[in-house]
Chain A
Amino acid sequence: MPVNICNMTDKFFYTVIITSLLVAIVIIFFVISVIYYHKRYIQLQKEKTSAQIMMQEQERKRIANDLHDSLGPMLSTVKLYMHSIKVSNENDKESLNKASNYIDETITNLREISYNLLPSSLNRNDLVAVVKEYITRIASHHPLKIYFDAAEKTVVQKKTEIHLFRIIQEIVHNTVKHSGATTLKIFITSYPDCVFLLSEDNGRGFDLEAKKEGSAGLGLKSMENRCEMINASLRIVTAENEGCKIFIKVPN
């Protein structure tokens, strides 16, 4: 009789253990499966963002090329024909000169727009040179003082250059438009395993969380998307009346 009770207890014990083990496996599988699908979801989102940004770049390139190669020469031709017109009346001469000046201005604006859409020099020069050129252009239009510096022998991967350039464009644009800052400092440096992009302005700063939640944070979102695309880490340090610091680390 005691042997029977012992067998019964063993049977009960092992059944409970095996059942618990199966339930535990189910729970573990559930957690692993959630992690797996979450990872895949993040990956898909990333690919989606990447595709959107690439399409945007392609479209910008197309428009920039059209503006530069098609409209620019046509306006130059118009100007040429205008100069070939011989007029004796002083008023007509003045009108022609005015029209010619407007055409010059239009050509300059067109080049500016085309450059902003796609800096063609990015294909020929490295990022540092292109950013310097961009900042010189901006400085001629705005009172904001921009200090740009790069460490010696800064190396940025070619595929990352366009994204870092766009991020710098966004930083400059945001500083000019929203910050009320008088100075902006931008610095790029590279290490064997990563590239750092740092910026600091002395503007009014902002509430980062509130900006991210609201629709006003489109520029920030765009920077985040680009950082995500190149696997970069983005850190923004800002508060009301304390300026804004942006740190970006791009792995090589």
Chain B
Amino acid sequence: MKPDSVAQLYAAYKVRLINNIPGMDIIVNFLLSQSILLPIIVSLVRIKRLEKIYYPFFIVLLLGLLAEVASFIFINVFKVSNAPVIKVYSLFECCLIIYQLYLWKNFSKNRQWFMIALVICITFWIVETIAFLNINTFSPYFRVFYAFVIVLLSINQINGMIFNHKESLFKNPRFLLSLGFIIFFLYQIIYEASYYVGSDQSVVATKIIIGFGYINFVINLLYAIAIYLITSKHEGNYNHYFNER
């Protein structure tokens, strides 16, 4: 799910920007980031059972893996910064997750807010990346902004489910995915702030940056469980109209 955490760390390590982070932690982070394969494998194994409504999320997972590979190639083969990969990936991630949340709110009257949020996010990205010619450097503003938007929309999704669902929420993939979004993107805000401050300036910032890999692993595990739940029940052709998975 999160290619840039490791890629950024790895790139920074290569050019010796992060002196406080030991090499061992970067390797551990690299291994943890490969946990993105867990939900992807579960999805691919049961791809026929994956409902169409979850396709945007599945595409996010695939793009995450693709960005991970691209980052690795940029840094190790071309010996350049992977900032463009991260920037483009962030835009797609933002759009797809907002679209995913939009699809889940199928019967809501306030769906236009999702589209407004999407347009604002895209505008923000264009201004930050294209207008300020800032594609080759890492900057936290867009990443903090869209993380913030996704957290708010996910909270809205979860609260709606708490009051409207009769079945157990912990078996509901939408609930698990929204919970994952909240934890992950809330941490992303703190992570970007720590990165902005600089790991060499604060021990706490360094620990937060390293902790991102572990959060990433837990969230990918949660996503794998959610995808397993999405694809586990399929007794009838019309079941998906009732179980609101």
> Is the contact region of chain B dominated by helix, strand, or loop, or is it mixed?
helix
A4-27 contacts to B (CB < 8 Å): 8, 11-12, 15-16, 18-19, 22-23, 25-26
Per a CB cutoff under 8 Å, which of B155, B160, B189, B197 touches A23?
A: B189
Query: Is A102 in the interface zone, CB < 8 Å from B?
Result: no
Asked if residues B151 and A26 are in contact (CB atoms below 8 Å), the reply is yes
Instruction: Write the B147-172 contact mask toward A (1 if CB under 8 angstroms, else 0).
Output: 01001100110011011100000000
Q: Which of A30-38, A124-132, A154-162, A165-173 sits within the interface?
A: A30-38
A137 at the interface (CB under 8 A from B): no
> Is B193 a contact partner of A26 (Cβ separation < 8 A)?
no
**How many chain B residues touch the partner (CB < 8 A)?**
19
Q: Does chain B have a CB within 8 A of A211?
A: no
Q: Quick one: given A26-B151, A33-B155, are A19 and B193 in contact (CB under 8 Å)?
A: yes
Tell me the residues in window 118-160 of chain B with beta carbons closer than 8 Å to chain A beta carbons: 144, 148, 151-152, 155-156, 159-160
Cβ-based interface call for B232 (8 A): no
User: A249 to B6, alpha carbons, bound, how many Å?
Assistant: 65
Query: With an 8 A cutoff between CB atoms, is A147 at the interface?
Result: no
Complex interface: chain A residues within 8 A of B152 (CB) = 26, 29
A41: B residues at CB distance < 8 A: 163-164
Smallest beta-carbon distance B163→chain A, Å: 4
Task: Tell whether, in the assembled complex, residue B148 and residue A22 are in contact, meaning their CB atoms are under 8 Å apart.
Answer: yes
Contacts of A38 in B (CB 8 A): 163
Give the total number of A-B pairs whose CB atoms are below 8 A apart: 45
Is B190 an interface residue when CB atoms closer than 8 A count as contact?
Answer: yes
Give the Cβ gap from A113 to chain B, nearest Cβ, in Å. Answer: 38
A26 touches B196 (CB 8 A): no
Taking a contact as CB atoms closer than 8 A, the residue among B156, B162, B189, B197 that contacts A12 in the complex is B197
Q: Name the residue on B nearest A33 (C-beta).
A: B159
Q: CB-CB < 8 A to B193: which residues of A? A: 15-16, 18-19
A23 with B186: CB separation less than 8 A: yes
Q: Is A145 part of the binding interface, using a Cβ–Cβ cutoff of 8 Å?
A: no
Q: Are B164 and A26 in contact (CB under 8 A)?
A: no
Contact partners of B196 in chain A: CB under 8 A: 11, 15
User: Residue A40 at the B interface, CB < 8 A?
Assistant: yes
Beyond A19-B189, A23-B186, A26-B152, is A34–B197 a contact (Cβ under 8 Å)? Answer: no
| Interface contact A37-B162, CB-CB below 8 Å | yes
27 contacts between A and B (CB under 8 A): A11-B197, A12-B201, A15-B193, A15-B197, A18-B193, A19-B189, A19-B190, A19-B193, A22-B148, A23-B186, A23-B189, A23-B190, A25-B148, A26-B148, A26-B186, A29-B155, A30-B155, A33-B155, A34-B162, A36-B159, A37-B159, A37-B160, A37-B162, A37-B164, A40-B163, A41-B163, A41-B164
B173-205 contact mask (Cβ, 8 Å, vs A): 1 or 0: 000000000000010011001001100011000
Report Cα–Cα, A41/B197, bound state, in Å: 43
| B207 CB to nearest A CB, Å | 15
CA separation between A40 and B162, bound complex, in Å? Answer: 12
State the CA gap A81–B201 with chains docked (Å).
Answer: 107
What's the minimum C-beta distance from A11 to chain B, rounded to whole angstroms? 7
